[in-house]
Structures are given as structure tokens and as C-alpha cells.
Amino acid sequence: MNRRVVITGMGAITPLGIGLDRNWEKICNGESGIGRITNFDPSPFPSQIAGEVHDFDPLDLINAKFAKRMDTFIQYAVATAMMAVEDSGLKIGGSNADRMGVFIGTTWGGIPVYERGLKTLEEKGYKKVSPFLLPSAIPNLAASQVAIHLKATGPNACSADACAAGAHSIGGAFRIIQRGDADVMIAGGSEALTTPLILGALCNINALSCRNKEPEKASRPFDRDRDGFVLSEGAGLLVLEELNHALSRNARIYAEIGGYGMTSDAYHIVSPHPDGIEAARCMQIALDDAGVHPEDVDYINAHGTSTVYNDRSETLAIKKVFGEHAYKLVISSNKSMIGHLMGAAGGIEAVFTVLTICNRTVPPTINYENPDPDCDLNYVPNVAKKREVRAALSNSFGFGGVNGSILFKKYM
């Protein structure tokens, strides 16, 4: 378990745009990607807003024959993986294919395909249901299609651990390389869940913001006036590479993964533990795994969903781990600008965490206007902050009490 793992490539698709440069520029400028839903008529729903991806054409990167047999979450994954591999300069195939793997998380897979299939079944009968329904929609097909397109025959896996799926996929890929089962892993998350079924289900558990008249102000983590999270979509993937493998090909190294932690609240199917006990232990495991002391951490990319219970429990968990140093940390939530990408959240937030280390700039938490007295740390309100970041945590906590934390650090 002594093999060091570094990041050599990244790709991003979010409501802010396509590609690393566009996403980084907009998130540092505090721009919001949240707007009224356009994929369907949202007017019957209490929440009518989401973070939709615009200007994405799968045919820019994917053959039309294959693209039409993929749900959107798979298209996002394949396109983002191709961006990340191009960014890394890797050549996959031939003698090295069996040392290259894929690990991609998603919460539910291709829900839109299932919705259309059910409608066809009810209206036209089973013989009209597409034979491509399952390979277009089941969760592991994002990782499998990426492997097919890249000819990567190494380890291939999918995490479906709710909102921690992206983080657990990166953590799982990290472990695979550490123990020597692969030299390179493409890892992260992909999601496309802005559908009537999912919107209705989340509305009925009162999880979503209903700030429909001001969608750009709806996601407001740690702010006293928050009223729920904003459903979003997209993908974030990283190329993880064993250090000596990266050095042997003179690869550019963005950052290093130092440690990974995962725990379970074992408390409730939706709500986090109010004391943040297991979220705190998750972060501590990541620190211990990396051999990093709490005072060595400069930044936390918070799960920060913009829900009352989640923001408060995460703040409490940070205080448990970091003590007085918690007040010296800078903490921000990307979800204030891109919404909650569910299973892809951990992937794209890992990308932004790595870019924070590289660019010495901490993205802001926008819409932080009226502080919640229970959330009293430095959440980088509204304006990005220049800051040297030696080590950073990226947190992802999901339904069922699943917790994941990844410790990224400056490569030295």
C-alpha cells in the first residue's frame, strides 16, 4: 500500500459549461449555473429549478451510432473521460490496456430511459420496449462504455453510493492503484437526473429549494435563509496514475491523493447524524491515511448542500476534527454555483479541489448573505480568495448515511 497516486488529467461537464477552463473561470467568478428547468414543464412542481447542462452535443466526441444507445449520464461520462485522458496525454491500448481501469459512480443511472420505457410499455406493449433499454441505463454502463471507448481492459467498477458515489469511486480507484492492481484509473462520477419522477420524489421529501423566482440565489449553503438543495447534472472525472508511471512519461502532475476515508452514520435513510460523529471520523480517517495533521490542512471543499441539517452537521463535524484550527480553515461549497450533482458531486468537487491547490485560489460560497449562527466558520463568502493550499479535503455525504472524504495535497 505504499504506491503513491497522483492526478495527471481531468475533465468536467457542469451547468457552468463544458471543459476545465470554462468551469474554473466561472466558479472562481462566482457565477451560478442554476435556472428554470427547460427539459420539461416544471410548473406543476413546488421546485421548478435545476442546474441543467446546456450546449452539450455528444456527437462532438461520440459516434452517433453509439451515442443514441446511451442515456445522457453515460454520454457525459464518455465525453468527460475523453477530455480527461486527452488532458493527461495518456495513450491507452496494446500492451498497457490491462493496467488501465475505470471506476465511475452514479446515483440511479439512466432514469430518463426507464421513464420512457415504462411509458412505451403502458401505451404500446412489451414488444415495443427497446432492446437497448438496459445497456442504455444501468449504472455500471458509464464505466463500461468509457472502458470500451478507451480500450481499457483493467479493473472496471461502479459505485452507486448516493451522493458519495463520485467520492467513493475516486477512493476505490486510489486503493486499486495503491495495491498494484492497475497503474492508471479514470475515476469520478456522472449524473443526469433532471426528470419529473426524480423532481417529484425530492419535492415530496422537502429536499429541494423552492426559490423559483430567483434560481441563481436558490443554492445558499450555510446561509440562514437556505431552504433546500438544487438538483443538478453533469460529470467530473480524474485520471489517477501511479507516481513512477507518471514520471516515466514526463506527465504533468496536478496534485497527489494522500488519503481516503469512508464511514456510515448508521442513523437514518435520509438525514445525517445531527452530531456529525461519523462524518468527523471519516475526515479523520482520510487525514490519518495521508499522515497529515489537522493543522496541515488549509481548505475543505464542503459537501455543503444548502440544507439545514446537512450544513449544520458538517460544520459540527469539522469542528470535532480540527478544533481551534477549524476557524483558520477556508471552506467553500461548489454547490452554491452548480447545484447538487448527486452521484457526480464528489467527482466534480474533486476536480475543483485539485484546481484550487494548483491555482492557489479558493472558489467562493455564493449567496452567503445571512450567516446561520450554527455555521460560524470561514465559508469564503461570495468572492474567491487567493490562498496557498498545501492540503485539502473534499467531503461527500449521502442518503443512507454514507460518508466519503478524500485528502488531496500539493505534489512535492
What is the arithmetic mean of pLDDT over 160-175? Answer: 98
Angle between helices 345-359 and 165-178 (to 10 degrees): 70
User: Residue 342 pLDDT > 70, yes or no?
Assistant: yes
Which positions are catalytic?
163, 303, 340
CATH topology for 259-409?
Peroxisomal Thiolase; Chain A, domain 1 (3.40.47)
| Distance in angstroms (rounded) separating the CA atoms of residues 267 and 403 | 12
Q: Which long-range contacts (CB under 8 A, 24 or more apart) does 47-50 make?
A: 47/199, 47/202, 47/203, 47/208, 47/209, 47/210, 47/212, 47/228, 47/231, 48/212, 49/209, 49/211, 49/212, 49/215, 49/218, 49/230, 50/194, 50/199, 50/230, 50/231, 50/232, 50/233, 50/339
Q: Is 191 a residue whose pLDDT tops 90?
A: yes
Name the DSSP letter for residue 257: E
What would the mean pLDDT of 17-25 be, rounded to a whole number?
97
Check residue 93 and give its pLDDT. 80
Question: What pLDDT score was predicted for residue 2?
Answer: 82
pLDDT at 65: 86
Average pLDDT over residues 166-171: 98
Q: What is the pLDDT of residue 63?
A: 86
- Lookup: cell for 315: 460544520
The per-residue pLDDT for 61 is 82
Indicate the helix (H) or strand (E) that contains 212.
none
pLDDT in tens, 206-252: 999 999 999 999 999 999 999 999 999 999 999 999 999 999 999 99
String of DSSP letters for 342-355: GGGHHHHHHHHHHH
pLDDT of residue 94: 81
CATH 3.40.47.10 boundaries in the chain: 5-248, 259-409
271-325 pLDDT, tens per residue? 999 999 999 999 999 999 999 999 999 999 999 999 999 999 999 999 999 999 9
pLDDT given for residue 171 in this prediction: 98
pLDDT, tens digit, 9 for 90 and up, residues 77-134: 999 999 999 999 999 888 899 999 999 999 999 999 999 999 999 999 999 999 999 9
pLDDT classification of 177: cutoffs 50, 70, 90: very high
Calpha distance 159→136 (Å, rounded): 17
Q: In the chain, what is the straight-line distance between the N-terminal and C-terminal CA atoms, in Å?
A: 19
Q: What is the pLDDT of residues 346-403, one digit of tens each?
A: 999 999 999 999 999 999 999 999 999 999 999 999 999 999 999 999 999 999 999 9
5-248: CATH class: alpha beta
How sure is the predictor about 1, in pLDDT bands with cuts at 50, 70 and 90? low
